[in-house]
Amino acid sequence: MSTYQSEDTRKVTTRRLFEMKQRGEKISMLTAYDYTMASIVDQAGLDVILVGDSASNVIAGNVTTLPMTLDEMIYHGRSVMRAVKRSLVVVDMPFGTYQGNSKLALASAIRIMKETGADCLKLEGGEEILDSVKRILSAGIPIIGHLGLTPQSINKFGTYTVRAREEEEAKRLLSDAHLLEEAGCSAVVLEKIPATLAAQVASELKIPVIGIGAGNGVDGQVLVIHDMLGMTNGFSPRFLRRYADLHSIMNGAVQQYVKDVKSGDFPNEKEQY
């Protein structure tokens, strides 16, 4: 199977994402939460690494992203940054560190940037978090917005269904996207919304629009790496394409290891001192 290796080895910046949109080059984005995985995806030519609060699900085993703390996100962000040479690294601000208190938001943002060395932050929400967005941006910290399905608000909506199907919510999302751009955000992630609406947002905004479950009319795509590599097998939304079946491969390898240990086959004479 052929692989794509970027020939451009320059460090990806928010400015370069803007330039990619201008020339019609799609933006590739995946999550990573640790040194080893970040090293692999960075070397593969990935444009953007998202240190997502989805670590709450795939790393910590929580049902929602809400339990993730600022210290935990800093730990994951710092681990990723030690590996990365090219990709733009974006760290999610966790629930409770920016909503409703712009001073707390700035303090939290500064901690993440200073203690991880990350390139950018991501915040969920539109008009309701605009004060926090503006205050963080005023400190020179780049922000990527996140609209549509916002997992940190799951208790408010009560479902992970597709967002913005109705006209009123679609208009509000479009308005929020413009507000985030006007405030100075570097890009916007759109999660699980109708493809036609996502394409409209991408066509109206000058900044890049990155989708997850938002169709192909946007400027880039993002997936959770554990999902796209098939390490998780209980999550199969329509938008997910699995590029490998690591769950089966890893399970088989462990089973063989157990068998070899119990039979005395491992280690053999060549595998000992």
Which active-site residues does the annotation give?
A: 191
* Cα(181)–Cα(190) distance, integer angstroms: 13
* Cα(20)–Cα(143) distance, integer angstroms: 17
* Cα(208)–Cα(30) distance, integer angstroms: 16
